[in-house]
């Protein structure tokens, strides 16, 4: 028989994300006195097909980015319908949220309002069951939990910084069964060597970007890859199960696609020329990971690149983010076309936990690698770490080894690793 524990009330407040923009903190209270909060992340580089946030559009209040309307929607529309619902019925809670909104893109009540309530409900249910969130997620959705590999941001460009670099993220990839603290030791070593290397070159850094990567005044997209490759190639064996780290890129190509051309540092490229350029740098630097290498509507170019990577003498896979926006239908399309080998998962891109789970299940059915990802505007909530482990993701993107809103997630992964080992 299904255990019953009813939702008593829901509270929403306005807080700030790591980039200083307003976001939501949603707290779900249960009849037995338990409550849990979820702090909603926000994206800067957004796919045009992802679910829509609700913002206030008051230019005199955070330049129009306030979320008081979303709070009002939770208080006046969502809470009255969810009070009395069983918190253990996540799919039913999410279906009520979806029906209350009634739009395909969550534009009536706001994806920020919906994911806030949905995720806070999930956290409250796991607390009521006296289970770590990762374990609760794995049990109710029948996943095999595991510690994912890391995709760590070391250089920020694109919309995540003031750098002239067009490519958005230069990623340090650690896969395999290396212990978490040993992975972080590797990452810290490379991060420090990166700073030293740049000083030697006489290039002055200009701080860190939204996701914890160093921001440099580079224009040449290949230069950070050259520097990182040199550092990685000279690494000492820092772990007991040494596995050479790899490099990857999140191009976020939609952000520099204008009037039919990709505006790179050397010249404007057609889609075919961009394909050749990506293949050139992928082969030169043995890039393991290629995220959003083309604009978000260009499934065919994704497919061409994905097919080309199969001919490399090293592992490399193509990943959709803006292309697929955690949407089950778009993931199915991209997967069946062989346009991608992996997919980014961001719960706030789609609006509810249940829809996120459906997207993951579809990706698994199509044998795509699962990458659970943060957003550029993060919070100190460590939900993402538990969720990535709970759904058995292949990789997680949680940022650089820098900035508190990123480090809190790595610290939670350390705890989870200990929890799993103690079972």
SS3 of 193-207: the string is: HHHHHHHHCCCCCCC
Task: For residue 202, name the pLDDT band (cuts at 50, 70, 90).
Answer: confident
Mean pLDDT for 254-262 is: 94
pLDDT confidence band for 114 (50 / 70 / 90)? very high
Helix (H, G, I), strand (E, B) or coil at 7: strand
Res. 321 pLDDT band, cuts 50 70 90: very high
Q: How many CB atoms lie within 10 A of CB 23?
A: 26
For residue 204, is pLDDT > 70? no
Average pLDDT, the chain: 93
Of 122-126, 142-146, 208-212, the least confident: 208-212
Q: Is the pLDDT of residue 240 over 60?
A: no
Give me the pLDDT at residue 217, please.
Answer: 81
Helix (H) or strand (E) holding 14: strand 7-16
**What's the CA gap between 345 and 397, in Å, rounded?**
10
Q: What is the mean pLDDT of residues 337-360?
A: 98
Structure-derived torsion over alpha carbons of residues 380, 147, 398, 184, reported in degrees to the nearest 10:
100
Tally the residues of the chain.
423
Closest among 1, 34, 11, 41 to 345, alpha carbons compared:
41
What confidence score (pLDDT) does residue 209 get? Answer: 83
> 368-388 pLDDT, tens per residue?
999 999 998 999 999 999 999
Put the strands of the sheet holding 268-269 in their side by side order: 257-258, 261-263, 268-269
User: What mean pLDDT is predicted for residues 404-416?
Assistant: 97
Mean pLDDT of 148-166: 85
Pick from 259, 234, 326: which is nearest to 47 by CA? 326
| Mean pLDDT within 238-266 | 84
Rounded Cα–Cα distance for residues 244 and 73 (Å): 49
Q: What is the mean pLDDT of residues 57-71?
A: 97
Query: Which pLDDT value is given to residue 244?
Result: 65
Q: Over 60: is that where the pLDDT of 239 sits? A: no
Sheet with strand 35-39: strands edge to edge: 7-16, 22-30, 35-39
Give me the percent of the chain exceeding a pLDDT of 70.
96
Q: What is the DSSP string of 230-296?
A: HHHHT----STT----EEEEE--GGGGEETTEEE-SS-EE-HHHHHHHHHHHHHHHT--EEES-S-T
Residue 242 reports pLDDT greater than 60:
no
What number is the average pLDDT over the span 134-138? Answer: 98
- pLDDT exceeds cutoff 80 at 162: no
Cα–Cα distance between 18 and 33 in angstroms, integer?
30
In the chain, the largest separation of any two C-alpha atoms, in whole Å, equals 68
Residue scoring higher pLDDT (23 or 201)? 23
Q: Which residues are catalytic?
A: 211, 346
Q: What structural domains and CATH numbers belong to the chain?
A: 7-130 (3.30.390.10), 141-422 (3.20.20.120)
Name residues whose C-beta falls within 8 Å of residue 157's C-beta, 6 or more positions apart in sequence. Answer: 163, 164, 165, 166, 167, 168, 169, 170, 209, 215, 218, 221, 224
Q: How far is CA 297 from the centre of its chain?
A: 20
Q: What is the pLDDT of residue 389?
A: 98
Can you tell me the mean pLDDT for 54-74? Answer: 97
Q: Is the predicted pLDDT of residue 208 greater than 90, yes or no?
A: no
């Amino acid at each position: 028989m299904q255990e019953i524990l009813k939702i008593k009330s829901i509270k929403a407040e306005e807080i700030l994300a790591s980039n200083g923009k307003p976001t939501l903190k949603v707290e779900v209270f249960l009849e037995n006195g338990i409550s849990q909060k979820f702090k909603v992340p926000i994206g800067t580089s957004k796919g045009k097909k992802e679910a829509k946030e609700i913002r206030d559009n008051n230019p005199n209040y955070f330049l129009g980015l306030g979320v008081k309307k979303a709070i009002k929607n939770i208080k006046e529309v969502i809470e009255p319908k969810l009070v009395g619902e069983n918190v253990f019925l996540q799919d039913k809670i999410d279906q009520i949220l979806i029906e209350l909104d009634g739009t395909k893109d969550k534009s009536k009540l706001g994806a920020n309002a919906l994911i806030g309530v949905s995720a806070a409900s999930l956290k409250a249910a796991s607390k009521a069951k006296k289970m770590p969130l990762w374990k609760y997620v794995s049990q109710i959705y029948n996943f095999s939990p595991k510690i994912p590999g890391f995709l760590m941001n070391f250089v920020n460009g694109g919309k995540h910084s003031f750098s002239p670099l067009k490519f958005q993220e230069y990623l340090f990839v650690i896969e395999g069964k290396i212990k978490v603290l040993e992975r972080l030791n590797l990452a810290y070593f490379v991060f420090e060597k990166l700073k030293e290397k740049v000083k030697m070159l006489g290039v002055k850094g200009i701080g860190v970007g939204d996701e914890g990567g160093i921001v440099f005044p580079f224009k040449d997209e290949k230069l950070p890859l050259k520097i990182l490759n040199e550092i990685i190639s000279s690494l000492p064996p820092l772990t007991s199960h040494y596995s050479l780290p790899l490099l990857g890129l999140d191009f976020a190509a939609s952000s520099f696609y204008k009037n039919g051309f990709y505006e790179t540092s050397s010249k404007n490229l057609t889609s075919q020329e961009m394909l050749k350029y990506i293949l050139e740098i992928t082969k030169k630097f043995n890039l393991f990971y290629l995220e959003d290498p083309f604009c978000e509507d260009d499934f065919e170019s994704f497919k061409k690149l994905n097919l080309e990577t199969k001919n490399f003498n090293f592992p490399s896979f193509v990943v959709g983010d803006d292309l697929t926006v955690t949407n089950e239908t778009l993931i199915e399309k991209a997967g069946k076309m062989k346009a991608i080998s992996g997919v980014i998962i961001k719960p706030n891109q789609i609006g509810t936990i249940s829809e996120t789970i459906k997207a993951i299940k579809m990706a698994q059915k199509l044998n795509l690698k699962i990458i659970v990802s943060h957003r550029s505007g993060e919070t100190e909530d460590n939900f993402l770490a538990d969720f990535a482990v709970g759904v058995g993701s292949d990789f997680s993107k949680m940022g650089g080894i820098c900035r508190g809103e990123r480090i809190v997630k790595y610290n939670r992964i350390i705890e989870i690793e200990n929890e799993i080992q103690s079972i």
